[in-house]
C-alpha cells in the first residue's frame, strides 16, 4: 500500500496534541469517521475525564465522550513518548501573545521537539494552531528535519487552519470546509486525503504559507469590521443615535453590506490575537499594517469606553462606583457557550475593582472561574440570578447576551443597567434606567 492509499484507509491512527476547544472536536470527527484516535494533553484531569466518559466541553454534549471511553479505537494520554504510535499527528495547541503583543510560539516549538524524539518513517505532522505565514516551515519543518530525516520522503508536514466556532448550530467540525497546504506537494496531498476521511469538504491550496495567511485574513476581516461598528457605536452614542437600530436598517440592503455587532471588547482565542501575529511578521519584512493595528487599538479600547459610560451613569445618579455593587452578566466571550478565553468581561471586572467597586458575576454556562494564562484565577463563582439578587446591586453590566437569561426580569428588577450587547432592545416597560454602552 502506497502512502496516499494508507492515508485514505481506516487503518491509520490519528494523534491529536491538545484536547481543548480545537483538538477535542477534531478528535471526535476522526473517531466518528471510523478511525483510531489517540489524544495527547499535558492536563491529566482532561485525560481522566475522557477515559471515564465525561466531557469537559459542554457545548459538545456528553454522548460522544461515553462512546469514546467504551471504544477500543480511542485512547488518551499525557505520555508524549507515545507520539510515535500515530500515523498522523495534528497539533492543536495555543499560540498566545506575549506581554508586548509579540507571538508566543513556545507551545509549538515544544511540540515540534517532542514529535522529533519519536519521529518515524511515513508520519504526517499537521499544524492547526493560528500563526503567521512561515511558522510551519520555519519551526516545524526545521525541527523535524534536524533528525536527519527528509520531508517529502521520510516524513510529511502540512498546515490546516482550525475554523472552530464553539456553540454554533449551523456548522460543526465535519461540515466546515477545511483548508490544507503542504510544505511540499506530496505532504499537501497526504493531508488532504487524511482530512477527507472526516471532513465533508477539503480544499487544498498551493502551500502551507497560503493556508496560514488565509487563516489570518479570515480573522483580521472580522476584527476590522468589529472595530468599525465599535467606532460607529461611540460616534453615534455621542449623537444620541441607537447603533443597533442603525445596523438593523443597514441590513435591509440585500448586497454590499454584512452586519457586524459592537460589544465591550473582543474575545475568543482568534480575533483578539491573530491580527497581531501578522503585524509582527509584517515588520520583519519591512511592511506596516496601519489599518489592522488601528482596528486592534479600537477594539482594545472598548472595555475602557464601557467603564466610562458606567461611571457617568453613576455620577448622574449621585452615586460612587467606589464601594458600589456591580453585577456583570456573562463571563463567556460569546453567547450560549462556556468559553471564557480572552473574554472582555475579565478586563471589565479588573477595571471596576481597581476603581473600588464590589463586583460579582452571573453566567449560566460558567459556574466558577478557573486559572487562565492572562488573568490567573480571579476566584469568583456565578451568583444566582433572581429578582432579589438583582435588586441588591447598584448596577447590572451586560457583557454577554446568553439566551438562557430572562432579560425582561433583568429589566424589571435592576436599579441601573449598562447594556453593551443590545440585550435590552426588546424588553417592555420603563427604559430610563438603561444605558447603552
CA distances from 306 to 92, 100, 159, 310, 352 (A): 34, 24, 39, 6, 10
Q: CB–CB of 229/261 below 8 Å? A: yes
Strands (E), 316-394: 325-329, 358-362
Beta bridge partners of 325: 358
CA 340 – CA 167 distance, rounded (Å): 13
Q: CB–CB of 282/263 below 8 Å? A: no
Three-state DSSP class for 381?
Answer: strand
Joined grid coordinates for residue 290: 496601519
Three-state DSSP class for 271?
Answer: coil
Say if strands 325-329 and 202-205 run parallel, antiparallel, or are unpaired.
unpaired
CA 193 – CA 387 distance, rounded (Å): 56
Start-end of H helices in 71-184: 106-118, 135, 142-145
- 384 DSSP assignment: P
CA 184 – CA 189 distance, rounded (Å): 9
Q: CB–CB of 415/398 below 8 Å? A: no
Strands (E), 183-333: 202-205, 325-329
With cell 454534549, the residue in question is: 61
Residues classed as catalytic: 270
Joined grid coordinates for residue 364: 449560566
Q: Which burial class, exposed, middle or buried, applies to 258 when counting CB atoms under 10 A from its CB (0-12, 13-18, 19+)?
A: exposed
Beta bridge partners of 328: 361, 397
Question: How many degrees, rounded to 5, is the angle at CA 202 between CA 201 and CA 205?
Answer: 145
Q: CB–CB of 124/144 below 8 Å? A: no
Residue 184 backbone phi and psi in degrees, to 5: -140, 170
SS (H, E, C) 325-382: EEEEECCCCCCCCCCCCCCHHHHHHHHHHHCCCEEEEECCCCCECCCECCCECCCCEC
Amino acid at each position: 500500500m502506497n502512502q496516499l492509499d494508507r492515508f485514505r484507509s481506516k487503518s491509520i491512527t490519528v494523534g491529536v496534541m491538545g484536547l481543548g476547544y480545537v483538538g477535542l472536536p477534531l478528535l471526535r470527527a476522526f473517531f466518528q469517521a471510523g478511525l483510531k484516535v489517540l489524544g495527547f494533553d499535558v492536563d491529566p484531569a482532561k485525560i481522566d475525564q475522557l477515559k471515564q466518559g465525561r466531557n469537559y466541553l459542554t457545548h459538545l454534549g456528553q454522548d460522544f465522550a461515553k462512546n469514546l471511553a467504551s471504544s477500543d479505537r480511542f485512547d488518551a494520554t499525557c505520555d508524549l513518548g507515545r507520539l510515535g504510535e500515530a500515523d498522523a499527528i495534528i497539533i492543536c495547541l495555543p499560540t498566545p501573545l506575549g506581554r508586548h503583543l509579540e507571538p508566543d510560539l513556545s507551545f509549538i516549538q515544544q511540540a515540534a521537539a517532542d514529535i522529533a524524539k519519536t519521529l518515524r518513517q511515513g508520519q504526517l505532522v499537521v499544524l492547526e494552531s493560528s500563526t503567521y505565514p512561515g511558522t510551519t516551515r520555519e519551526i516545524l519543518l526545521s525541527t523535524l528535519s534536524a533528525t536527519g530525516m527528509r520531508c517529502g520522503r521520510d516524513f510529511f508536514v502540512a498546515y490546516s487552519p482550525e475554523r472552530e466556532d464553539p456553540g454554533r448550530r449551523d456548522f460543526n467540525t465535519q461540515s466546515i470546509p477545511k483548508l490544507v497546504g503542504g510544505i511540499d506537494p506530496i505532504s499537501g496531498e497526504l493531508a488532504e486525503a487524511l482530512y477527507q476521511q472526516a471532513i465533508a469538504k477539503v480544499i487544498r491550496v498551493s502551500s502551507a504559507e497560503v493556508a496560514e495567511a488565509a487563516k489570518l485574513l479570515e480573522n483580521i476581516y472580522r476584527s476590522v469590521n468589529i472595530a468599525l461598528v465599535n467606532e460607529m457605536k461611540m460616534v453615534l452614542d455621542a449623537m444620541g443615535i441607537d447603533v443597533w437600530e442603525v445596523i438593523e436598517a443597514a441590513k435591509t440592503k440585500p448586497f454590499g453590506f454584512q452586519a457586524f455587532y459592537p460589544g465591550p471588547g473582543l474575545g475568543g482565542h482568534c480575533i483578539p490575537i491573530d491580527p497581531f501575529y501578522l503585524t509582527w511578521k509584517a515588520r520583519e519584512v519591512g511592511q506596516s499594517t496601519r489599518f489592522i493595528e488601528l482596528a486592534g487599538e479600537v477594539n482594545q479600547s472598548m472595555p475602557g469606553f464601557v467603564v466610562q459610560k458606567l461611571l457617568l451613569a453613576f455620577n448622574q445618579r449621585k452615586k460612587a462606583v467606589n464601594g458600589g455593587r456591580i453585577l456583570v452578566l456573562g463571563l463567556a466571550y460569546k453567547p450560549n457557550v462556556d468559553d471564557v478565553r480572552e473574554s472582555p468581561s475579565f478586563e471589565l471586572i479588573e477595571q471596576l475593582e481597581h476603581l473600588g467597586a464590589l463586583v460579582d458575576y452571573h453566567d449560566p454556562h460558567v459556574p466558577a472561574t478557573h486559572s487562565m494564562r492572562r488573568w490567573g484565577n480571579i476566584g469568583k463563582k456565578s451568583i444566582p440570578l433572581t429578582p432579589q439578587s438583582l435588586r441588591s446591586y447598584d448596577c447590572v453590566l451586560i457583557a454577554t447576551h446568553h439566551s438562557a437569561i430572562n432579560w425582561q426580569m433583568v429589566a424589571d428588577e435592576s436599579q441601573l443597567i449598562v447594556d453593551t450587547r443590545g440585550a435590552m432592545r426588546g424588553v417592555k416597560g420603563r427604559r430610563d434606567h438603561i444605558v447603552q454602552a
